[in-house]
C-alpha cells in the first residue's frame, strides 16, 4: 500500500485486504461515524509502536489506537485513510509484584485475565467494567473505565501508577512510577487516563492492586442468619 507502515513490522501483521479491514472500522457505538482505514497494524512491542507512530507523523497519516473494540463512544472508529494500531498481539502480563501490590501489563491484556492472574497471588484488580470479559487494559485506561465496584473502590484512574507512552512525536516516555508509594511531582500518568489516545499511545501500564476480598454472602442468607 502507499505510505505503508515501516518495514520493521512483518507483512503478516499488516492487514490491507478490504474484507479484513471491515471488522476494524468501528467499535460498538453503532451511531458514531466511521471510515475505511488504509491498514491495520498489529505491533508486538513498544519499538514497533514507536516506528509506526513516527511513520504516520512523517507522512501525515491519521492514526487510531484500538483495543478490543468494545467501547460505546466511537473512540476506536477509523477515519478514511487511517492506520489502525491494534493491540491484540500486545497481550502479555509482564510482572505481578506481590510485595509492592502492583502489576505491569501490555495494553492488550484483557481485564478479567489480569484479575485471574492476580487472584493466584492473593491480589485483586478492582475496576470491573461491564465488558471486563473482553475489554483490554489499554482501552480501560484510555476511557477511564469504571464498573459496579467503582462505587466503593474507584475507577481506573485510581489504580494507574505508571504508563509507558509513545507521544505524538514518536518518542517513548515513561510517566508515573513502579512503586506503591510516590507522591512528588505532577501526575502525568493520571493526565493520560481518559484521554482516549489524544495525548499519546499507551504501550505499557503499571496498576495498583489490592488484597483479594473475602468471599461475599448473599444478602438473603445474611438476613436469615440475623433473624
**Contact between residue 192 and residue 200 where contact means Cβ atoms under 8 Å apart:** yes
Say what the pLDDT of residue 220 is. Answer: 56
Region 44-62: mean pLDDT is 96
User: How many whole angstroms separate alpha carbon 67 and alpha carbon 148?
Assistant: 21
CA pair distance 80, 116, nearest whole angstrom = 38
pLDDT of residue 176: 93
Does residue 154 carry a pLDDT above 60? yes
Question: What is the C-alpha to C-alpha distance for residues 158 and 140, in angstroms, rounded to an integer?
Answer: 12
Q: Which three cell numbers stand for residue 80?
A: 478514511
Could you give the CA distance from residue 222 to residue 227 in angstroms, rounded to a whole number?
9
Q: Residue 225 in 3-state DSSP?
A: helix
Q: Does the pLDDT value for residue 221 go beyond 60? A: no
Q: State the pTM of this model.
A: 0.89
Domains and CATH numbers, the chain: 11-86 (3.30.43.10), 93-211 (3.30.465.10)
In the prediction, which pLDDT does 186 show?
86
Q: In terms of pLDDT, which residue wins out, 216 or 85?
A: 85
- Pairing status of strand 39-41 against strand 14-15: antiparallel
Give the pLDDT score at 73: 86
State how far the Cα of 89 lies from the Cα of 25, in Å rounded to an integer: 18
* Beta strands, E only, 59-178: 63-66, 83-86, 93-97, 102-105, 123-124, 160-166, 172-176
Does position 179 have pLDDT exceeding 90, yes or no?
Answer: no
The DSSP secondary-structure symbol of 95 reads: E
Range picked from 26-35, 164-173, 217-226 for highest mean pLDDT: 164-173
Please state the length of the chain.
Answer: 227
Q: Are strands 83-86 and 39-41 parallel, antiparallel or unpaired?
A: parallel
Confidence class for position 8, pLDDT limits 50, 70, 90 = confident
Which pLDDT belongs to residue 1?
44
C-alpha cell belonging to residue 215: 468471599
Average the pLDDT over 208-224 and give the result. 71
Mean pLDDT score, 41-62: 96
User: What are 60-91's pLDDT values in tens digits?
Assistant: 999 999 999 998 888 899 999 999 999 999 99
Neighbours of 19 (CB within 10 A): 7
| pLDDT mean over 17-26 | 93
**Long-range contacts made by residues 180-187, C-beta under 8 angstroms, separation at least 24?**
180/100, 180/101, 180/102, 180/208
pLDDT at 107 over 90: yes
Amino acid at each position: 500500500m502507499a505510505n505503508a507502515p515501516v518495514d520493521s513490522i512483518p507483512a503478516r501483521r499488516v492487514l490491507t485486504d478490504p474484507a479484513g479491514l471491515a471488522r476494524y472500522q468501528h467499535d460498538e457505538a453503532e451511531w458514531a461515524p466511521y471510515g475505511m482505514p488504509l491498514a491495520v497494524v498489529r505491533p508486538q512491542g513498544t519499538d514497533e509502536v514507536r516506528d509506526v507512530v513516527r511513520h504516520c507523523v512523517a507522512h501525515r497519516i491519521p492514526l487510531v489506537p484500538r483495543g478490543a473494540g468494545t467501547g460505546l463512544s466511537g473512540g476506536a472508529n477509523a477515519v478514511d485513510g487511517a492506520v489502525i494500531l491494534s493491540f491484540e498481539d500486545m497481550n502479555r502480563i509482564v510482572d505481578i509484584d506481590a510485595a509492592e501490590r502492583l502489576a505491569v501489563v501490555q495494553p492488550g491484556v484483557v481485564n478479567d485475565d489480569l484479575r485471574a492472574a492476580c487472584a493466584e497471588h492473593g491480589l485483586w484488580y478492582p475496576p470491573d467494567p461491564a465488558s471486563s470479559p473482553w475489554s483490554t487494559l489499554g482501552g480501560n485506561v484510555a476511557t477511564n473505565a469504571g464498573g459496579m465496584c467503582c462505587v466503593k473502590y474507584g475507577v481506573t484512574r485510581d489504580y494507574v501508577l505508571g504508563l509507558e507512552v509513545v507521544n505524538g512525536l514518536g518518542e517513548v516516555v515513561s510517566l508515573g512510577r513502579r512503586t506503591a508509594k510516590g507522591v512528588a511531582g505532577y501526575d502525568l500518568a493520571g493526565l493520560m487516563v481518559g484521554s482516549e489516545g489524544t495525548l499519546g499511545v499507551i504501550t505499557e501500564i503499571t496498576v495498583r492492586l489490592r488484597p483479594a476480598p473475602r468471599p461475599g454472602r448473599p444478602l438473603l442468607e445474611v438476613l436469615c442468619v440475623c433473624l
